[in-house]
Amino acid sequence: GENVEQHPSTLSVQEGDSAVIKCTYSDSASNYFPWYKQELGKRPQLIIDIRSNVGEKKDQRIAVTLNKTAKHFSLHITETQPEDSAVYFCAASRNTGFQKLVFGTGTRLLVSP
């Protein structure tokens, strides 16, 4: 089955710096790659997603890139702010006609003022 690996497990940056989180997946049939943000004690919430027919997607300060050949995708956060501090999860879903997300193990991002 699908396996999603996520790195790094923790990431500390200064406010205003950029942050990059990387994920690799094993199943070449995966076609949907969402990123979720989970603040401490809260529920995961979708922040951005990308489909396999797209190489890059941006939404204000966040962007996701996908390399299907290498089977990896990355989350980029620019101009980080303290409120970006959270755990970020990547996930992948295979094109089976139904969504079964396989999640990475998460990255704890700490943005220091």
Partner 1 sequence: NAGVTQTPKFQVLKTGQSMTLQCAQDMNHNSMYWYRQDPGMGLRLIYYSASEGTTDKGEVPNGYNVSRLNKREFSLRLESAAPSQTSVYFCASSARSGTSTDTQYFGPGTRLTVL
Q: What is the dihedral of CA 50, 54, 56, 58, to 10 degrees?
A: -60
- Smallest gap from Cβ 98 to partner 1, in A, equals 5
Residue at token pair 């943005």: 111
- Residue 24, both tokens: 């690799």
Nearest residue (CB) to partner 1, 58 versus 100: 100
- Residue 18, both tokens: 């950029």
Is 11 a binding residue for partner 1 by CB under 8 A? The answer is no
Query: Which residues, in sequence order, are CB contacts of 108 under 8 Å at separation 6+?
Result: 9, 10, 11, 86, 87
Contact range with partner 1 by CB under 8 A, out of 12-20, 56-64, 67-75, 102-110: 102-110
Q: Which of residues 21-80 bind partner 1 (CB under 8 A)?
A: 31-32, 34, 42-46, 49, 51
Residues that bind partner 1 (CB under 8 A): 1, 6, 9, 31-32, 34, 42-46, 49, 51, 89, 91, 93-106
